[in-house]
Structure 1
Amino acid sequence: MTVLQLQGTKLEQKRISKPLPLVRFFLASVGLLFIVAMHYFQHNPGGSGLELSFNAAAWIPFSVAISCGLLEICRQKVWRYSRMTLLLFSCCVLLTLPVFYPNADGFAASNRLLTLWAGFLFFTSLQQFVFTHSQRQRLLWFITIAVLIEAVFGWYQFLWLTANNRFGYDIIANRPYGIFQQPNVMASFLATGLVIAAYLLARLPRYRGKWVWQHMILLAVPVLTIPLLVVLNSRTGWLGATIGSLLMLPYLYRFAAKYQQRMWGLMLLLGLALAWQVSST
């Protein structure tokens, strides 16, 4: 048997050095984005992009997260990418090309193009870190908590706001859009949280045979989001929630315990019952 010594030579495989101090800053910025910044409200004349107050607030931690990823590339002197990175880069280039057409309005599309390429940079930054299992779960928990905050805010808009309220919410149409000021965006966000909650529930065992507070939070997601999806009357939200929930059923059947499957099904039925009750009143 031949032993080939690679350590200290050019043949040694380059690995991400440990510890990774920037991981904590990256996670903190993402947590600040989802739990605090994206829920910031300020009166605005409408519009898109940075004209909206919550977008301007969200871009601060979002930019910090991108900066952490780019700094990690410089620190490691390695750019980690995959085929998906190249595919997304090609898509971004194709979506940017129309701005060079003779009759294109580049200024009107600047906000969308900025967001497009910033999203690509965020995806690239995400690939530069080697997350532990708990850190990956934490990222998903950030999104789940954000969904719950927006769901509670949506219920507040739907049930308790009156005319001439400080949020400028239209109680006549009464389609609770949360902080997003657009019902379809709110519905898509709620549907995303519903699918993530199902995944996290399947990966969260009971502690010494007992339910923990994380279970209660995850089981509250379908009860809070499904009636809102019905109230929002968004086909995009309905389609996303239905397809996502159906695709999660095999995953729950394989990885979730029997009691978790039963409780999740019960919460889905409870959410549908509340949705029927709300829509019939």
Structure 2
Amino acid sequence: MRVLAVDPARWVLVLFGLLCLFGQHVFIHHLGGAGLDLPFNAITWLFIGAMLAAGAFALQPVLVTSGFWWYLLLGAAMLWLPFFYAHAEPTRMQALPRLLGLSGGVLFYLVLQQCRFNASQRRRLLCLLLGLATVQMLFGLVQFFALPADNWFRFNTRVRLPYGIFMQRNVMSSFAGSGVLLALYLLVVVRAGRARWLMWLWCVSVAVMGIVLVLLLQSRAGLFSLLAGLLLLFPVCWLRLITRPQRWLLLAMVIFGLSIGLVVLLQSDLPRRMLEVYGELGVRYEIWATTLGVIVNHFWLGVGYGGFEPAYYAEAARLLITTGTVPQMPDGLHHPHNEVLLWLAEGGAVTLLAWLFWAWGLYFLLRHLPWSERLALVALCLPLLGHLMSEYPFGHSSVHWLWLLVVLWFFDSEHGRGRIRYRFPVWPGRSLLLLAGFGTMLYMASGLQTGYQLTHFERERFSDNTRLTAVWNPWFWQDRRELYQHSAVLAAALAAGDEERLKAYLAWSTPVIARLPRGSLLHNHLVALLALGREQDAQALAGRLRLEYPHDRQFSVEALENVKTKLAAGEAPRVYRQLTQPVGSATYYQNWYFD
């Protein structure tokens, strides 16, 4: 057996442990959003970059891969193809972080394979994932039961949805469900020797906490995928547990967790949401139906990476004209609440082939597993894959993507059939990993500093302009930073009646609203048009927006007349400086989010 203390791969394991037990739980105030707009995702990728760099020294002249990894790689390569389509040029850069995150995950999977961990070390990685889930669950329970109304986290105790670090209840729910199923799986696969009872206590506690949280969070995707996962995993656990008391203790634990969760739910102020949450699909049905219309109309090439938002609202306007039915859809919809539909709408037929290729790769992996391990793998992936069909989990939480990769790698490595080995010179691979690792670390570290500056700039009511020049990474939160700068230019131009600066603002905003049609940007654009006397252009744009955003009153005839009246009286109309309005259960920024 290899000794971990003298193996270069030990640093990958140590860094993974630091991420799971400490790094992923660092809370930094932010302005909402998705992806790298959320600091905890930047921290996740900071550690992944460090693991890529550390993994460079675990490379050997014989490269170890698997058939499943090749499916991952070729599927990811296929998803890169639409990035180079000519019609995607105006919006493609908005999808670049998503594609880089996908590629970074495939590279991280390869690094784990090169570490050549033994069975005990592979189980240790799963235990570290369970440690990550444990801390987040404790965080969620403290939020629900212990935090006062005025707390440093600015958790909204009136909403009382314990979302942990994720700031979104559905993301927390799928994560907690994944933790429950992993705890049950580790309960029967880890042989802890004399500390067996401690392992049992840990897994039982995590399973109970997770079930309680999933019930409190009232997420359909989280609850249904957890129940389906339990049905798949229970036969595996029941057969592998040796004694009858262990089996009945397992059953009692699940029933106890469900009972506690239901009691707390009924005693709290949350039951009023139960029927509306679990009874109907609501606006999601309309979003999916409209998105399918986008897919059908652009099946072969898609609308272009990054182009979902404008294409969706154009399709919604077409439906409004043809049917006369006013839709329920929200504003600022940058994803269709289904990650598969997002890729299909933007990338077309190639992305469909890539997803089918991945599905075949998963079948290839399952085919080489014993039947009990097949059930276990599907069960452990269900909360994440189920959430994939109703939300945008991997775009919202990088640790969800990391969790899925580690679980797949574990089963791929645990049953080593289909191992593929290649001889190759070490230095190209090592150079690539070092470059990717240190580049990721540098970008994320400088991005965290940029996010800190811009968050405090907005919290301080946009008063300290030195924060805009103090950023280290001009590409991080670029649209948000440019809006801060150009909205200040627009406000000054309106106050001074400066036509040149108004034209400069329009020159910036015209291509931006074409790819990022957010309400704040569109309002400012209309104000600039009216201030320049381009009423015909403003009315034409507002007429289109009334179809695309039928519930947004700032594009109504009355709103435009109000802007014109203020301009005629020499008053400055309102200028928005936020990219998006705060949404979701993460309403903690309500106390310092200003117009």
Shorter-normalised TM range? 0.7 to 0.9
- Given the alignment, which residue of 69, 75, 78 partners 1:94? 78
- Given the alignment, which residue of 120, 123, 133 partners 1:147? 133
Partners of 1:191 and 1:241 within 8 A in 2:
yes
* Distance in 2 separating the partners of 1:206 and 1:48: 39
* Distance in 2 separating the partners of 1:128 and 1:143: 20
Counterparts in 2 of 1:110 and 1:170: CA distance versus 1, 3 Å: farther
* Distance in 2 separating the partners of 1:109 and 1:162: 39
Kindly provide the amino acid, as one letter, of the partner of residue 80 in structure 2. Answer: T
Q: Which residue pairs with 1:56 in the alignment?
A: 42
> Given the alignment of the two structures, is residue 110 of structure 1 paired with residue 108 of structure 2, yes or no?
no
Q: Which residue pairs with 1:42 in the alignment?
A: 28
SS at match of 1:79: strand
Kindly provide the amino acid, as one letter, of the partner of residue 264 in structure 1. Answer: L
Counterparts in 2 of 1:171 and 1:24: CA distance versus 1, 3 Å: same
Structure possessing the higher radius of gyration over alpha carbons: 2
Moved more, 216-225 or 40-49: 40-49
Report the TM-score, using the length of structure 2 for normalisation: 0.42
Q: Which residue pairs with 1:9 in the alignment?
A: none
> Given the alignment of the two structures, is residue 265 of structure 1 paired with residue 251 of structure 2, yes or no?
yes
> Given the alignment of the two structures, is residue 68 of structure 1 paired with residue 59 of structure 2, yes or no?
no
Kindly provide the amino acid, as one letter, of the partner of residue 58 in structure 1. Answer: T
Instruction: Map residues 122-271 of structure 1 onto 2, 5 A cutoff.
Output: 122-205=108-191, 207=193, 212-258=197-243, 259-271=245-257
Partners of 2:192 and 2:199 within 8 A in 1:
no
The Cα shift of 1:211 comes to: 5.4
| Higher RCO, Cα 8 Å, sep 6+ | 2
Partners of 2:9 and 2:57 within 8 A in 1:
no
Kindly provide the amino acid, as one letter, of the partner of residue 152 in structure 2. Answer: R
> Given the alignment of the two structures, is residue 277 of structure 1 paired with residue 263 of structure 2, yes or no?
yes
Kindly provide the amino acid, as one letter, of the partner of residue 115 in structure 2. Answer: F
* Distance in 2 separating the partners of 1:31 and 1:176: 24
* Distance in 2 separating the partners of 1:206 and 1:26: 23
1:13-63 C-alpha deviation (Å, 9 max, x unpaired): xxxx98861221111011111111110001111223333222222222211
* Distance in 2 separating the partners of 1:221 and 1:18: 30
1:87-134 C-alpha deviation (Å, 9 max, x unpaired): 111221233333223135222212212211111111111111222222
Q: Which residue pairs with 1:85 in the alignment?
A: 69
Partners of 1:203 and 1:256 within 8 A in 2:
no
* Distance in 2 separating the partners of 1:279 and 1:262: 26
Instruction: Map residues 7-22 of structure 1 onto 2, 5 A cutoff.
Output: 21-22=7-8
SS at match of 2:262: helix
Counterparts in 2 of 1:250 and 1:173: CA distance versus 1, 3 Å: same
Q: Structure 1: give runs of 5+ residues left out of the alignment.
A: 1-16
1:164-221 C-alpha deviation (Å, 9 max, x unpaired): 432132223322110011222211111111111111111245756x852221111101
Counterparts in 2 of 1:263 and 1:205: CA distance versus 1, 3 Å: farther
Counterparts in 2 of 1:86 and 1:205: CA distance versus 1, 3 Å: closer
Kindly provide the amino acid, as one letter, of the partner of residue 225 in structure 2. Answer: G
1:123-150 C-alpha deviation (Å, 9 max, x unpaired): 1111112222221111011011111111
Partners of 2:13 and 2:125 within 8 A in 1:
yes
* Distance in 1 separating the partners of 2:62 and 2:122: 22
Counterparts in 2 of 1:223 and 1:56: CA distance versus 1, 3 Å: same
1:230-258 C-alpha deviation (Å, 9 max, x unpaired): 11111221132122212212211222222
Kindly provide the amino acid, as one letter, of the partner of residue 169 in structure 2. Answer: P
* Distance in 2 separating the partners of 1:42 and 1:90: 36
Kindly provide the amino acid, as one letter, of the partner of residue 153 in structure 2. Answer: F
Moved more, 78-87 or 90-99: 90-99
Partners of 2:139 and 2:164 within 8 A in 1:
yes
Partners of 1:69 and 1:124 within 8 A in 2:
no
* Distance in 1 separating the partners of 2:21 and 2:99: 26
SS at match of 1:22: coil
* Distance in 1 separating the partners of 2:96 and 2:157: 33
Root mean square deviation, CA, Å: 2.1
Moved more, 179-188 or 33-42: 179-188
SS at match of 1:171: coil
Kindly provide the amino acid, as one letter, of the partner of residue 98 in structure 1. Answer: P
Kindly provide the amino acid, as one letter, of the partner of residue 220 in structure 1. Answer: S
Q: Which residue pairs with 2:549 in the alignment?
A: none
Report the TM-score, using the length of structure 1 for normalisation: 0.86
* Distance in 1 separating the partners of 2:132 and 2:226: 17
* Distance in 2 separating the partners of 1:206 and 1:41: 33
The Cα shift of 1:81 comes to: 1.2
1:73-92 C-alpha deviation (Å, 9 max, x unpaired): 3xx12221111111111221
Counterparts in 2 of 1:254 and 1:44: CA distance versus 1, 3 Å: same
* Distance in 2 separating the partners of 1:86 and 1:211: 38
SS at match of 1:81: strand
Q: Structure 2: give runs of 5+ residues left out of the alignment.
A: 268-595
